[in-house]
């Protein structure tokens, strides 16, 4: 359902992030659940990255990187990101790895999550996955690493 923008908006307005947060704690022990939750996270962030419960300030929505209304930020704030990274550290089947890496790539769309992922040691894990898996998974890993590098580099330059 979350692969279609209109459906993703409805799910987000219905507070699906809270439900995904609860499911993310259970997905650590269940590969099928991890696969589905990570696919939903990826689709929600990619199809409807910004949502509002009110129709105010729609022009500014594209500029929101933090706060309520940014799906990637809310996933980081609600503990979903930590559980996705925890899943990434486990032995998974290739299909589950693919969806977990896609979720990591989607979550790396904001600087806050990039810092969290870097602190949790995602970089060596993604590099290891690049060595072991097929091309589409390698592409998602590379995209995630590129996004993290660009956002963290921009933060360092802004602080200097």
DSSP 96-136: HHHHHHHHHHHHTTSHHHHHHHHHTTHHHHHHHHHHHS-HH
Quote the pLDDT of residue 52. 59
Q: Which of 93, 92, 85, 89 is nearest to 41 (CA)?
A: 85
Quote the pLDDT of residue 28. 82
Domain ranges within the chain, ordered by starting residue? 5-159
Rounded-to-integer distance, Cα 108 and Cα 33, Å = 21
pTM reported for the whole predicted model: 0.83
Quote the pLDDT of residue 62. 46
Quote the pLDDT of residue 102. 93
Quote the pLDDT of residue 15. 77
pLDDT in tens, 7-33: 666 767 777 788 888 888 888 888 899
Mean pLDDT by runs of 10 across the 160 residues of the chain is 62 76 87 91 80 49 54 86 91 89 92 91 93 88 93 87
Quote the pLDDT of residue 8. 65
Quote the pLDDT of residue 38. 92
With contact defined as beta carbons under 8 Å apart, do 28 and 86 qualify? yes
Q: Which of 120, 97, 119, 105 is nearest to 150 (CA)?
A: 105
CATH code, residues 5-159: 1.25.10.10
């Amino acid at each position: 359902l979350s692969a279609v923008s209109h459906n993703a908006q409805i799910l987000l307005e219905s507070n699906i992030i809270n439900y995904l947060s609860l499911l993310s704690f259970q997905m650590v022990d269940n590969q099928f659940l991890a696969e589905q939750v990570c696919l939903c996270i990826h689709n929600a962030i990619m199809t409807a990255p910004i949502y509002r419960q009110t129709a105010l300030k729609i022009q500014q929505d594209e500029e929101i990187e933090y706060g309520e209304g940014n799906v990637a930020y809310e996933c980081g704030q609600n503990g979903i990101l930590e559980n996705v990274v925890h899943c990434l550290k486990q032995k998974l089947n290739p299909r589950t790895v693919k969806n977990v890496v896609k979720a990591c790539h989607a979550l790396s769309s904001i600087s806050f999550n990039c810092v969290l992922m870097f602190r949790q040691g995602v970089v060596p894990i993604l590099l290891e996955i690049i060595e072991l898996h097929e091309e589409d998974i390698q592409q998602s890993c590379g995209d995630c690493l590129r996004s993290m590098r660009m956002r963290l580099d921009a933060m360092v330059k802004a602080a200097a």
